[in-house]
Amino acid sequence: MPVLPPRQSETMVLAVICLAVFMADLDSSIVNISLPTIADAFHVDLGVVSWVVMAYLLVVTGLMLAFGRLGDMLGLCRVFTGGLILFTAGSFFCALSGSIGVLIASRVVQGIGGAAILAIAPALLAASLPAERRGRALGIMMTVVSFAIAAGPILGGFLTEYAGWPWIFIINVPV
């Protein structure tokens, strides 16, 4: 089986990690603007629907340290891949949610995956690149993080207005 040349391989690793980090960070802000629409869809008040955001953020924040340790124990690629699978599955179930409870539970699953992605991404990137290119790659990744957080409300508003709120989650599934 052919192996990519070192530079191409490094670029591919950076692209995959940045895409995963983009999606995980995007989901920290994309939902906010859709909360009134989601509240109307499920006939709940904003206090209840705010848990759609809080569930994700609490789980991501609460589990990042644990996933960092798990990555050390089980391997970075394994934990990162598992995180991608959970994040994508959570996104899929968010989009299909028929009740606010299912949506919040799906956001918890999505948050578990997001925590694994966000905890492991910098270490995986550092382990995959030679020392002389790590700083630049980590800088690119952090730029992607900032862009994702800033793009979330804009993209969320557009998708909610023109496609419907489930699309703020469906966009993660092809990842």
Which structural domain range is residue 68 located in?
10-170
Residue 135 vs residues 12, 43, 113, 138, 143: alpha-carbon distances, Å: 17, 48, 25, 5, 12
Please say if the pLDDT value at position 17 is more than 80.
Answer: yes
- Residue 50 inside a domain? The answer is yes
- Residue 5 inside a domain? The answer is no
Q: Give the model confidence (pLDDT) of 43-73 as tens digits.
A: 999 999 999 999 999 999 999 999 999 999 9
- Residue 44 inside a domain? The answer is yes
- Residue 2 inside a domain? The answer is no
CATH number for the domain that contains residue 129: 1.20.1250.20
Output the pLDDT for position 114: 98
Split at pLDDT 50, 70, 90, the class of 7 is: low
Q: Count the domains in the chain.
A: 1
- Residue 175 inside a domain? The answer is no
Crossing angle of helices 76-95 and 100-128, in 10° steps, is: 150
- Round to whole Å and give the CA distance between 105 and 121: 24
Output the pLDDT for position 175: 61
- Residue 3 inside a domain? The answer is no
